[in-house]
Amino acid sequence: MSSTADPVPPTDDPVRFELIGQVARITLNRPETLNIVSVAVRDALIEAVLAARDHPDVRAVVLAAAGRHFSAGADLSEFGSADSVFEARRIRWDRDPWGPLWSLPHPVVVALHGYSLAAGLEMALLCDIRLAAPDTVVGLPETRLAMLPAAGGTPRLTKVIGPHGALPVVMTADNLDARTAVARGLIHRIVGPEEGTVDDAALALASRWARLDPPLLRAAKRALRAAADLPLSDGLATERRLGLGLGPGRAGAGGSGGSGGS
């Protein structure tokens, strides 16, 4: 597959943006720091996510990371550079890449490897599919540091694995290996060596998505999120509305009746 490099941001920036066919690959690019999420990384990530959102050729997105580790979390040293911990948190919330990432209309797959902790895991939880290399370690260690997860970790983790599963992950702050994370539902699957690298597998999956009808994918993503967030009756109504919006013959067998479908 041919690759067309997008000039924003350049390859030596904290985050790389590449257009590969109709897939936008966004890569955290500070391997020497374990890809910790500094303010500079946040700003570059916002720019890259918005570029993926607005590029007319993009149909799917891969979130990846250079080096041995996906991300070891936020840059806690920057807390000491602000006037107070409250000001540090305000700056972090004002420079928020999590909202744009969550709001992407395209399907997003993340390729995890090595440490995928704190903000690293919280980013992954905002993606639609989480693939992992066998060496992946995930966790939310914030409570060991007298902090709470502050990048959507508690609501997204609860949505993904339920309050029963989320409570020990947050309260004990224990790290989980890839197999345990799959068993608990944090990760969709581990990529075996026969598939190449986890980045290869993520790009292959995103490329499959990119060959599908974009309005259909966007509607499916919205319907699935509505099903998770709304009462059943509202989820059915949203599904029906989205299906009808796709046009005749594309709404599915249950598109014309109240409780039809599977």
User: Which 3 state secondary structure label does DSSP give 198?
Assistant: helix
For residues 193 and 224, membership in a common domain is answered with: no
- On average, the pLDDT of the chain sits at 81
Q: Give the CATH number of the domain where residue 132 resides.
A: 3.90.226.10
Distance CA 245, CA 243 (A): 5
Q: Is the pLDDT of residue 100 over 90?
A: yes
> Catalytic: which of 47, 78, 142, 239?
142
> Which residue among 18, 32, 47, 122 is the active-site one?
122
Q: Which domain, by its residues, includes 92?
A: 3-210
Do residue 75 and residue 160 come from a single domain? Answer: yes
Told to judge if 47 belongs to the known catalytic residues of this protein, a careful annotator would answer no
- pLDDT tens digits, one per residue of 146-201: 666 666 667 888 888 888 888 888 888 889 999 999 999 999 999 999 999 999 99
Give the global pTM: 0.80
| 41-55, 75-89, 242-256: segment of lowest average pLDDT | 242-256
Q: Are residues 247 and 204 in the same domain?
A: no
Same domain assignment for residues 261 and 132: no
Task: List, in sequence order, every residue forming a beta bridge with 28; answer none if it has no partner.
Answer: 15, 65
How many structural domains are present in the chain?
Answer: 2
In this predicted structure, the answer to whether residue 41 has a pLDDT above a threshold of 80 is: yes
Residue carrying structure tokens 């599963």: 165
194 classed as catalytic: no
pLDDT digits (tens, 9 = 90+) for 204-261: 999 999 999 999 888 888 888 877 775 655 555 655 665 666 655 544 444 433 333 3
3 state DSSP class of 237: helix
